[in-house]
Every structure is written in C-alpha cells, then in structure tokens.
C-alpha cells in the first residue's frame, strides 16, 4: 500500500495539482480545499472523457462566488493510495473544464495529510495509517 501521493504546484496558475486514476484514466486534478465533496467536474468532461450520460439533476451546490450549480452524481472508481475506491462524482451542468478538469475535494482528504509547498512547487498527500519506509 502506498504511503503518499506526489503532485505539483502549477507554475502558471499557482494551483496545487495531483494526478488521479479515475475509471482507469490518469487525470490531473486541482486540490480544492473549498469543496467538501469527493470529486467535481463539468458535463463536457463527464461526457467526453468518461462517456457518462448526464441528463438529470440530483441537487444544487453553492459555489465559492455565491452562485449555484446544478449537478448529477455519477459513480466512479478512483485508485486511492493503491486501493480502488468507489464513490460518486459531482457532474455540474454549468461548469466548463479549465486547465484542470476535475476538482479533488476535502472529503477524499479526510484522514490524510495535505502538504502544498508553493515555494518549491511540491504537493503531497500522505496516508498516516501507512508506515513510510526510509531508503
């Protein structure tokens, strides 16, 4: 089992990023500590990358800017620290994909340690339940 996941701070945007394996596709995800769900993406990514049929509204979320976004919940499998994790991803009808098509929220980070070193451009997510072996 893996003890940590490495990422990076994107120099162009100064945003923390990690790559996740979602439904057997490696995708860069923006670490969004303002989002308290698992994963969030837009309808275009859900349809184009994952082939999802997005056609119903399961709820509405309030975004950081105070606006609202209708979403549908879709099941996905994430490889999380070497283990498959089955969860539901928010698919927003009004969110368009930017440079990083998926937001990784704090619900996935619960029980883990997030380190974002903006000075050195390093992002790490650690699983404290797994012993780290020194080289």
What predicted TM-score, i.e. pTM, was given to this entire model? 0.86
Q: 42 and 50 in contact (C-beta within 8 Å)? A: no
Q: Which two tokens stand for residue 90?
A: 């928010």
Distance (Å, whole) CA 41 – CA 121: 24
Q: What is the pLDDT of residues 53-67, one digit of tens each?
A: 888 889 888 877 777
Q: What is the pLDDT of residues 72-128, one digit of tens each?
A: 999 999 999 999 999 999 999 877 667 889 999 999 999 999 999 999 999 999 998
**For residue 50, what are the domain limits?**
4-126
Q: 36 and 107 in contact (C-beta within 8 Å)? A: yes
**Longest CA pairwise span in the chain (Å):** 50
Q: What are the C-alpha distances in Å from 68 to residues 3, 75, 115?
A: 37, 22, 30
- The enclosing domain of 41 has a CATH number of 2.40.70.10
Q: Is residue 33 a part of any domain in this protein?
A: yes
In the chain, how many domains are there? 1
């Amino acid at each position: 089992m893996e003890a940590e996941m490495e990422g990076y701070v994107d120099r162009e945007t100064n945003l923390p990023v990690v790559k996740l394996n979602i439904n057997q596709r490696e995708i860069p995800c923006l670490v969004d500590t303002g989002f308290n769900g698992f994963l969030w993406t837009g309808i275009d990514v859900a349809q184009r990358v994952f082939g999802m049929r997005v056609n119903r509204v399961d709820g509405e979320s309030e975004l950081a800017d105070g606006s609202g976004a209708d979403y549908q919940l879709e099941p996905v499998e994430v490889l999380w620290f070497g283990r498959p994790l089955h969860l539901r991803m928010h698919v927003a009808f009004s969110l368009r994909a930017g440079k990083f098509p998926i937001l990784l929220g704090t619900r996935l980070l619960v029980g883990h340690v997030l380190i974002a070193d903006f000075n050195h451009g390093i992002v790490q997510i650690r699983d404290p339940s797994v012993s780290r072996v020194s080289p």
